[in-house]
């Protein structure tokens, strides 16, 4: 629209009645959301951008495409933008991204999020896991001080799979074996007294020391005190790697201990409370496929305690990891 025509149109805005004003705002809302998303991507983009194909740092601007600045690599000739090679690449309807991220902050189900944003339910489901693919990696580099660790178990689920490697069961069914078995997904959660949290789906069945070496040891500060229950896997892990370790015997009814020379009580109530919050939050989704559990763990960590409270922060968490 040329400037004189826009000036005339803008001057007549005050003549609109309330329904007409609301109609204009609804029409402008997606464009405003798109402008916000493009601006945020521009703010977060890496200062040392590299070609996603050959990792060359030599590139030049190459116009715009789909509202994003495009670049061309001077070495391989490939064109790319700030989202190329990431889970957010080729996602359309960017003007609705911030509205959708607000549904993630509200922990909305797929169908309700689709209705609220105005997209198909399949699109809402795909967007959920595209955004969470990177958000789940936004974790503390290390846990220090007193670190509580404990495992929780969820019934293995192949929800959405067309082929099952076991006989089908009704939704909300029970494991075929008593106690801890390969019918259960083992989720390890470690949390320090400052609220830093890491978690991982380590496998099926009982926790093993080798799984702790893979998922907990790289995140544990060398001077941290590991506090667990009386599971033998933790004792073997701590002994093998020289980790300071204290345990509480929950089966004997011992929940809290105080040791001389140790600042802070010895217990695992902090991490067990996190387990309880996660289970209660997960129940609204009426079953989650095991292959998506890491995404839901990252989602819960993002919204736990209001750590991420706005759609802009959530988008920044996703895109900053892309450009890290």
Instruction: Average the pLDDT over 159-171 and give the result.
Output: 85
Q: How far apart are CA 171 and CA 97, in angstroms?
A: 32
**SS3 call for 215:** helix
| 130, two tokens | 């595209």
Using the predicted structure, report yes or no on whether residue 322 has a pLDDT greater than 70: no
Task: Give the pLDDT of residue 156.
Answer: 92
If one compares 29 and 270, the residue with the highest pLDDT of the two is 270
The per-residue pLDDT for range 215-235, each reduced to its tens digit, is 999 999 999 999 999 999 999
How many Å apart are CA 140 and CA 249, to the nearest integer?
A: 29
Give mean pLDDT, residues 121-141: 91
Q: Which residue has the higher pLDDT, 295 or 34?
A: 295
For a pLDDT cut of 90, what percent of the chain falls above it?
51
The Cα 149–Cα 151 span in angstroms is 7
Of the candidates 315, 311, 307, 312, the one whose C-alpha atom is nearest the C-alpha of residue 139 is: 307
- Residue 48, pLDDT above cutoff 90: no
Please report how the helices 97-105 and 293-303 are oriented relative to each other, as an axis angle in degrees rounded to 10: 80
Q: Distance (Å, rounded) from C-alpha 60 to C-alpha 301?
A: 38
What's the pLDDT at 261? 65
Rounded Cα distance, 37 and 39, in Å: 5
Phi (first) and psi of residue 176, to 5 degrees: -80, -15
Mean pLDDT over the full length of the chain: 88
């Amino acid at each position: 629209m040329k400037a004189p025509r826009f000036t005339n149109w803008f001057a007549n805005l005050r003549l609109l009645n309330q329904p007409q004003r609301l109609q204009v705002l609804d029409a402008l809302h997606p464009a405003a959301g798109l402008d916000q998303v493009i601006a945020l991507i521009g703010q977060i983009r890496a200062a040392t951008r590299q070609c996603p194909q050959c990792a060359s740092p030599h590139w030049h601007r190459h116009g715009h495409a789909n509202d994003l600045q495009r670049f061309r690599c001077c070495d391989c000739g490939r064109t790319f933008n700030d989202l190329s090679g990431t889970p957010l690449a080729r996602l359309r309807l960017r003007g609705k991204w911030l509205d959708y991220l607000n549904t993630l902050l509200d922990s909305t189900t797929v169908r309700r999020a689709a209705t609220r944003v105005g997209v198909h339910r399949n699109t809402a489901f795909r967007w959920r896991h595209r955004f969470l693919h990177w958000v789940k990696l936004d974790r503390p580099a290390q846990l220090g001080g007193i670190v509580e660790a404990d495992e929780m178990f969820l019934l293995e689920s192949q929800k959405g799979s067309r082929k099952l490697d076991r006989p089908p069961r009704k939704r909300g069914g029970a494991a075929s074996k008593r106690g801890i078995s390969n019918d259960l997904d083992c989720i390890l959660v470690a949390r320090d007294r400052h609220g830093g949290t890491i978690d991982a789906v380590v496998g099926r069945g009982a926790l093993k020391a080798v799984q702790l070496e893979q998922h907990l040891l790289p995140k544990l500060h060398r001077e941290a005190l590991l506090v667990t229950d009386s599971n033998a896997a933790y004792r073997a892990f701590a002994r093998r790697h020289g980790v300071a370790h204290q345990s509480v015997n929950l089966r004997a009814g011992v929940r809290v201990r105080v040791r001389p020379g140790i600042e802070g009580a010895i217990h695992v109530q902090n991490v067990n409370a996190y387990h309880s919050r996660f289970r209660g939050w997960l129940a609204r989704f009426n079953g989650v496929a095991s292959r998506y559990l890491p995404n839901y763990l990252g989602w819960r960590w993002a919204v736990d305690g209001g750590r991420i409270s706005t759609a802009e922060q959530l988008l920044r968490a996703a895109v900053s990891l892309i450009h890290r």
